[in-house]
Amino acid sequence: MVQKPFPSNCDKRHYDTFELLHFDICGPMEENSLGGSKYLLLIVDEASGCMKGFCLRAKSESEDCIKTIKTYIMKVQKQFGKKVKFVRHDGAREFATNSLKDFYKDEGIEQQTTVPMLHHAKLDKCFWAEAAMTAIYVKNRLPSRERHRSHGGEHSKRCVTHLLRSVRDFAPSYFDDVFVHSRAVNGKTDVEAHKEHLRKLLGLMRKYKLYANLKKCIFGASEIPILGCLVGKNGVRPDPEKVRVISEWPTLSDVKELRQFLGLATYLCKYVENYAGKIRPLSQLLKKEAEWKWTAECQQAFDAVKQGLTEAPILAVADQDRPFHVVCDASDFAIG
């Protein structure tokens, strides 16, 4: 039996513990599809976006297909220690054998038949490119019942964004941070609207069993910290703690310290007018051939960045009902 590894959009090293996995058998394919293989075996966790697939020959060509399916299921159960749901494409009836049914029953695996998806798929010669697109299509057709329970990690953060997408208009999320904003609308005060939004968000979190740390929660505040800035009804301003750190930064002595300083300052550069022009003497020191020499011009640029952040204005929230003016320059060394 020939097995060809299927492209995966998730590195194996990033796999975490899943609550429920899907095994999907799709086929039969046309003769020229999947490099001559007739069926496609997919292992999918939709919540995390992880996917792994393998091509299988027809049962009539190889009795080892059944053993292969059992091997993969046992391997995944052993690795993740979680339940498996077997989702079988209704065209793949060749695999609905008594031996597999008994195996599912013994292992406590739930079976489900899906609508035809890949029966007429033709991947021609572009196996690696088009097969990946087909697998994503199959993944998106699977039911979204699995939950990703691991606390922290790349997949749980993506899972939060995926599960809370229905409330993103008033509760956008960034990885595992959720921000709820409300204003008076339809005769409701801003407080009443905010309470309604919170009920919807918390109800959704309860439904998907997502938990929040109360010590990190802020409710009913007029201004909250978001990604290094303070956001309120009047606009956006830099976090005073970060501004204090920059204003108290000692004179730089080497390239490593310069990179650290510019790393934090550049994060808040939108509050400093002509930031790129002001730091030009400092950025010149980062060039590969540059020799470290702290000049009066460098000190002046260093102080200008500090002063600019200390006097940073409050940036107003964009009003979509008013005209916008785009202002830029044609400088050959700095923009902004």
Average pLDDT over residues 139-166: 54
pLDDT at residue number 152: 41
Q: Which of 117, 141, 165 is where one domain is finished?
A: 141
Poorest-pLDDT segment among 248-252, 285-289, 323-327: 323-327
For position 43, which CATH number holds?
A: 3.30.420
Same structural domain, 184 and 254: no
| Domain assignment present for 244 | yes
When pLDDT is cut at 50, 70 and 90, the band that residue 173 belongs to is confident
Same structural domain, 131 and 16: yes
| 72 or 132: which leads in pLDDT | 72
Rounded to whole angstroms, how far apart are CA atoms 164 and 47? 12
Same structural domain, 109 and 200: no
- Whose tokens are 């990703």? That residue is 148
Average pLDDT over residues 259-287: 89
Same structural domain, 47 and 121: yes
Q: Which of 112, 141, 170 is where one domain is finished?
A: 141
| 109 or 264: which leads in pLDDT | 264
* % of the chain beyond a pLDDT of 70: 50
Highest-confidence segment of 108-112, 113-117, 244-248, 330-334: 244-248
- The pTM assigned to this predicted structure is 0.48
Write out the two tokens for 217. 């929660």
| Domain assignment present for 306 | yes
Rounded to whole angstroms, how far apart are CA atoms 32 and 30? 6
Same structural domain, 214 and 237: no
What mean pLDDT, rounded, does the chain reach? 69
For position 240, which CATH number holds?
A: 3.30.70.270
205-243: per-residue pLDDT in tens?
888 888 888 888 888 888 888 888 888 888 888 888 888
Element (H, E) at 297: helix 296-310
| Domain assignment present for 2 | no
Q: Which of 141, 176, 201 is where one domain is finished?
A: 141
Per the structure, how many domains does the chain have? Answer: 3
Same structural domain, 241 and 219: no
| 274 or 2: which leads in pLDDT | 274
When pLDDT is cut at 50, 70 and 90, the band that residue 294 belongs to is very high
CA distances from 146 to 20, 73, 262 (A): 5, 17, 43
Whether pLDDT at 42 is above 80? no
Q: Which domain holds residue 249?
A: 230-336
List the 20-26 sheet strands across, edge first: 50-56, 39-45, 20-26, 83-89, 110-114
316-325: per-residue pLDDT in tens?
877 788 888 8
